[in-house]
Chain A
């Protein structure tokens, strides 16, 4: 069985004019400017408030961990649709260890439980060659079942509720005080743009927990491990061309196993991050709510790269935080930001002489603006799935430019290369 042929676009031949880090900085800067303009013109100050940024960090963490999990597996050529199930296992494991031995044990147990799910996925897909998507769906079903069973068995006597863990202790949060005080003063100074940037930065530096730091570390560590070491090169070669890797003496099975187990562990950490969220401590049945899938979407949004993945999960976390804190009106204001962004993109494409694409961007901007103009607020039910809509749009528009690992999702058997 082979997985459905995903798009295999030709990599863009255009030479890069700016190094990667500069482009990312530029994108972040443009994003901040657009948000700042929107916040000023629409009066939706929550768009750039410290509270929103802080909530966004907590909400992006599970998505980020899940996405990194997806990245590890897919870079080794295994599609991991079981991320959701491994995350569920992680939430349960974290809560179970957490209420007994504290938050650090919760993190460790979350990772271990997730890794067990990953091991199962590796056995099914690598050793037995089961279709990756089928195995992923099965593991998600199994993960939900196992946690429900274990909750009834172990949580029910303590918490008197089979769907909930007993209360557990979270991490003490801390802030980088001297800096946040300066930023606070800047926010109060009420200067255009400066206030907005300071607000967001203040949010990012307040209410930090070890989980947040772990997430912030996981991205560069993943990048260094996968792109700057021999280990990473071998692992990625298993995802690009396993037969060639095998001919060079790489033990493809072993690397795939490592990748998928790490993938499960990261997804489990995502579950632990959910359980240790200071706003809502503890295990609650169904609390993952499809975040494993969103992590996968963030990874695709980020073109199978750690930096892009971070941007994707930040986007999802931000929209989520905004609609939770400020509701439909603030998300409505995002449409305005979308219009500005579309116009900017159109100008950029005109300058590069992509005439057709630029016209389409303008049309899209116009449509978004019309929606903004004629609708007063976005119903909360719609605002809740804004991330999914964004993912669909990105896939529809940019799927030709995305480049998944060449052997992603394909079955590989030792010694059967041609």
Chain B
């Protein structure tokens, strides 16, 4: 199989398999899978759905990149979830409290988000690098801690801003709003969408085209080989984790800067885990992650359309879960198949080389 096939086949198979499984589930519960599929496709033309998919896709894209930076080094930053939430919360507080001139205001908010995300990732990074603590456990614990800290930060005792029944961070003045592209009735594309795209380009260049990116990937593939080549593994762990945290710090900001202009108690959660799924789907490749993010956002938005025709919207969650699980299984199967094919090819070549030698020895 060619490289293109081994890359593209697994996700396609996974999506098809998930669709098949969900169709069966729908048939069992007495719904029509055909109608469900039709409404999922036609929803894109209606109202603001297409723009919503792009906006949510941008959020997911940043989340996928944040996770992928860690994955490149075989670091499992499960803590993207906590990092993004606390970063969005603190950035919204800083943005709401500081009166600043227009462009600077947005930049300060963005930098605050990155800094806080980085700091929240610093704890597991240090624990991993100097105490050998698995980053998986420490980041899971820090996710829970972040939830508590955010609840305290938003409470009226700290920085909470009470408005009717809602508690949020103090609202950000218009100087701190990130302007979007107004498409009239189709909605407004977040300005942060372009920041997300830039991040993708930066990710591609840094990891794919620089010496640093090579060292990072190398120390992920084989720490011993990298150390032998003069790369300090400990430093790489710190850098990868901090970069992951910094990118994670931006995940919540498209919504804070483009729509909510504050961080509320009911702000969406789970983007960090979505990011893990999307990074897996896109195999840590910037283009793959983009496709995964858009697919995920599209499925998310389908939930509403499905609800309208009486199909339980939760079928989308099943579909997403099945896609992640089957895509990793599919990648593994294809990898094994490709490896076996490679072994057969090499063995055949070796036989072909050895034959004349063996014949020569006989004469």
Contact = CB atoms under 8 A, between A and B. Distances in A.
Interface of A: 1-2, 4-9, 81, 120, 124, 128-131, 133-135, 137-146, 148-149, 151-153, 290, 293-294, 296-297, 300, 379, 381-382, 384-385, 388-389, 391-392, 395-396, 399-400
Interface string B156-186: 0100000000000000000000000000000
A401 to B, nearest CB: 11
B187 to A, nearest CB: 27
Contact of B131 (A140, A152, A396): A396
B45 interface: no
Contact of B140 (A143, A152, A293): A293
Interface residues of B, number: 52
Specify the main secondary structure of chain B where it touches its partner: helix
B266 to A, nearest CB: 13
Contacts of B317: 141, 144-146, 148-149
A297 B141 contact: yes
B216 interface: no
Contacts of B348: none
Nearest 10 A-B pairs (CB), nearest first? A145-B317, A142-B321, A7-B132, A149-B314, A381-B152, A381-B151, A148-B314, A388-B141, A385-B148, A138-B324
Interface string B110-142: 000000000000010001100111111110111
A142 B75 contact: no
Nearest to A129: B332
Interface string B20-33: 00000100010000
Nearest to B25: A149
B324 A141 contact: yes
B273 interface: yes
B280 A395 contact: no
11 contacts: A4-B128, A128-B329, A128-B332, A138-B321, A141-B321, A145-B314, A145-B320, A146-B317, A146-B318, A379-B157, A400-B132
Specify the main secondary structure of chain A where it touches its partner: helix
A137 B137 contact: no
Given A149-B315, A399-B132, A124 B138 contact: no
Contacts of A388: 141-142, 144-145
A130 B152 contact: no
A282 B141 CA distance: 27
A151 B313 CA distance: 12
A9 to B, nearest CB: 8
A159 to B, nearest CB: 15
A4 B132 contact: no
B332 A146 contact: no
Contacts, number: 150
B318 A145 contact: yes
Candidate in A4, A131, A153, A379 with the most chain B CB atoms within 10 angstroms: A4
Interface of B: 25, 29, 74-76, 78, 123, 127-128, 131-138, 140-145, 147-149, 151-152, 155, 157, 223, 273, 276-277, 280, 312-318, 320-322, 324-325, 328-329, 332-333, 336
A137 B273 contact: yes
Contact of A400 (B131, B138, B142, B155): B131
Nearest to B71: A134
A379 B155 contact: yes
A146 B317 CA distance: 7
Given A144-B317, A149-B312, A81 B141 contact: no
Contact of B134 (A6, A130, A138, A396): A6
B314 A392 contact: no
B277 A395 contact: no
Nearest to A383: B148
B148 A7 contact: no
B141 A399 contact: no
Candidate in A2, A141, A388 with the most chain B CB atoms within 10 angstroms: A141
A152 to B, nearest CB: 5
Nearest to B328: A130
B343 to A, nearest CB: 12
A395 B131 contact: yes
A388 to B, nearest CB: 4
A290 B135 CA distance: 17
B325 A142 contact: yes
Given A4-B134, A381-B152, A395-B127, A124 B328 contact: yes
Given A142-B324, A146-B317, A382-B149, 13 more contacts: A4-B76, A7-B131, A133-B78, A141-B320, A143-B321, A152-B313, A294-B144, A382-B148, A384-B148, A385-B145, A385-B148, A392-B145, A396-B133
Contacts of B147: 385
Contacts of A140: 273
A128 B14 CA distance: 15
Candidate in B29, B78, B149, B321 with the most chain A CB atoms within 10 angstroms: B321
Candidate in B132, B141, B328 with the most chain A CB atoms within 10 angstroms: B141
Contact of B318 (A130, A142, A151, A385): A142
B173 to A, nearest CB: 27
A381 B29 contact: no
A300 B136 contact: no
Contacts of B328: 124, 130-131, 134-135, 138
Contacts of B145: 385, 388-389, 392
B276 A146 contact: no
Given A145-B317, A149-B318, A81 B136 contact: yes
Nearest to B146: A385
A120 B324 CA distance: 13
B340 to A, nearest CB: 12
A139 B137 CA distance: 17
B133 A399 contact: yes
A17 B150 CA distance: 46
A152 B134 CA distance: 37
A148 B315 CA distance: 9
B201 to A, nearest CB: 27
Contacts of B322: 142
Contacts of A9: 132
Contacts of A294: 144
Nearest to A397: B131
Contacts of B127: 392, 395-396, 399
B152 A382 contact: yes
A141 B277 CA distance: 9
A300 B74 contact: no
A133 B123 CA distance: 20
Nearest to A385: B148
Contact of B137 (A1, A120, A129, A296): A296
Nearest to A133: B76
A395 B137 contact: yes
Contacts of A8: 132
B78 A130 contact: no
A131 B328 CA distance: 8
Contact of B325 (A6, A129, A135, A379): A135
Nearest to B279: A134
Contacts of A7: 131-134
